[in-house]
Structure 1
């Protein structure tokens, strides 16, 4: 990402966090963002990651859809008089291999009701996921691979 875009994002986050949308506060956010980048400039490594805004919006739309569907499914599961749940942990083989992509996938899974990212293998090839109902781990793997993981690859590669 270009430094000016990063500084602008930092400034917008600063405005949102501070809750003060004034010109002096915007200038303070820009200065803080620029100073932050200046301090870490030696630790930033360029990468070949490209941003595709429409694909990112598609990923966001998928997340919102999955959030709503999962919340409904979990509500139905816990509202039943007899909960016939089979909680468990399954291994999800990762196609994504960059730290950012793995972190994003793990967070999207964790933010979706009924699932929780537990751990990543030391070689970063497997993500361990806990599911409230793990009666079909192959189906859950397929859903993640064809959903979040595919959208992440489309948006950031």
Structure 2
């Protein structure tokens, strides 16, 4: 948390020095200060901050890729005369334990076209999803667990 606050502070200092008070200057300042902090951290000091920031970027681009692929798949199914969709309800077992992790995963699933988070089981062990393309439940479960959930847990856990 200390590195994150220091990174934010240095990004704001960057904005003040450059007299640029917009989002782009903040992002540039954040990236420059992140690089400076990563290069100047004491050797042997193990911190999860740099791993988490990297994991967050990986998650963002993976999620963006998943959205683009899902949009193309749904659009193709809508514009072609034959429908390839096989909708079904899928119960995905969760490794995510905290409410934040479950909420983020459910929202990312819902934001991906062709899938919708319906509910979480009472014991918080299953995420109930409506999938537009679910001919094989194990493939849908594996895609979510090895993709979104795994990358999300790399961000939220040490």
Give the TM bin, normalised by the shorter chain.
0.5 to 0.7
**1:127 matched to 2:127:** yes
Q: Which residue in 1 is equivalent to 2:154?
A: 154
Looking at structure 2, the residues matched to 58 and 139 of structure 1 have their Cα atoms a distance apart, in angstroms, of 22
In the other structure, the counterpart of 2:101 is 101
Match of 1:32 in 2: none
Deviation of the 1:133 alpha carbon: 1.9
Shift of 1:153: 1.3
Gaps of 5+ in 2: 13-20, 23-47
SS, match of residue 119 in structure 2: strand
Q: Which residue of 1 aligns with 2:90?
A: 90
Q: Deviations over 1:98-121 (max 9, x none)?
A: 111100100000000000000000
The residue number in structure 2 matching 1:65 is 65
The residue that corresponds to 2:78 in the other structure is 78
Summarize deviations over 1:12-58 as a string: whole Å, max 9, x none. 9xxxxxxxx69xxxxxxxxxxxxxxxxxxxxxxxxxxx651010010
TM-score by length of 2: 0.67
Q: Determine helix, strand or coil for the equivalent of 1:102.
A: helix
> Gapped runs of 5+ residues in structure 1?
13-20, 23-49
Shift of 1:134: 1.6
TM-score, normalised with respect to structure 1: 0.68
**Following the alignment from structure 1 to structure 2, what is the Cα–Cα distance between the partners of residues 115 and 136?**
14
Q: In 2, distance between residues paired with 1:152 and 1:100? A: 11
Q: How many residues align?
A: 116
Give 1:77 deviation, angstroms. 1.0
